[in-house]
Amino acid sequence: SDIGAQKNRVVTEEEWLQKWETHNIGFHKEQGHPLLQKYLDVLLSGRSGLRIFFPLCGKAVDMKWLADMGHHVVGVEVSEQALKEFFVERSLPYSEEPVPGIPGAKKLQSTSGNISLYCCSIYDLSSSIVGKFDGFWDRGALVAVNPCDRQRYASLLITLMEENSSYLLVTASYDPNKHKGPPFYVPESEIKSLFG
| Residue partners of 67: CB distance under 8 A and separation at least 6 | 73, 110, 112, 114, 115
User: According to the annotation, is 20 in a ligand binding site?
Assistant: yes
User: According to the annotation, is 195 in a ligand binding site?
Assistant: no
The total number of structural domains in the chain stands at 1
* 21-72: pLDDT as tens digits: 998 888 888 899 999 999 999 999 999 999 999 999 999 999 999 999 999 9
Rg of the chain over Cα atoms, rounded to whole angstroms, equals: 16
User: According to the annotation, is 22 in a ligand binding site?
Assistant: yes
User: According to the annotation, is 194 in a ligand binding site?
Assistant: no
Segments in the chain forming alpha helices (H):
13-21, 34-38, 40-44, 62-68, 80-89, 127-130, 150-159, 188-195
pLDDT for 3 equals 64
Nearest by Cα to 74 from 48, 28, 112, 107? 107
pLDDT in tens, the chain (196 residues): 466 678 888 898 999 999 999 988 888 888 999 999 999 999 999 999 999 999 999 999 999 999 999 999 999 999 999 999 999 999 999 999 999 999 999 999 999 999 999 999 999 999 999 999 999 999 999 999 999 999 999 999 999 999 999 999 999 888 888 888 899 999 999 999 999 8
User: According to the annotation, is 184 in a ligand binding site?
Assistant: no
Longest Cα separation, the chain: 46
CA within 13 Å, CB half, 94: 23
pLDDT for 2 equals 62
CATH number, residue 29 = 3.40.50.150
pLDDT for 191 equals 95
DSSP code at position 114: S
| Cis before 34 (ω within 30) | no
pLDDT for 6 equals 85
User: According to the annotation, is 77 in a ligand binding site?
Assistant: yes
pLDDT for 5 equals 72
Q: 21 is in which domain, residue-wise?
A: 4-195
Question: Length of the chain in residues, anyone?
Answer: 196
pLDDT for 129 equals 97
User: According to the annotation, is 21 in a ligand binding site?
Assistant: yes
Q: What is the pTM of this model?
A: 0.94
Sheet holding 161-169, edge to edge: 94-98, 106-110, 115-119, 72-77, 51-54, 133-138, 161-169
User: According to the annotation, is 87 in a ligand binding site?
Assistant: no
User: According to the annotation, is 137 in a ligand binding site?
Assistant: no
| Cis before 187 (ω within 30) | no
User: According to the annotation, is 24 in a ligand binding site?
Assistant: yes
User: According to the annotation, is 121 in a ligand binding site?
Assistant: yes
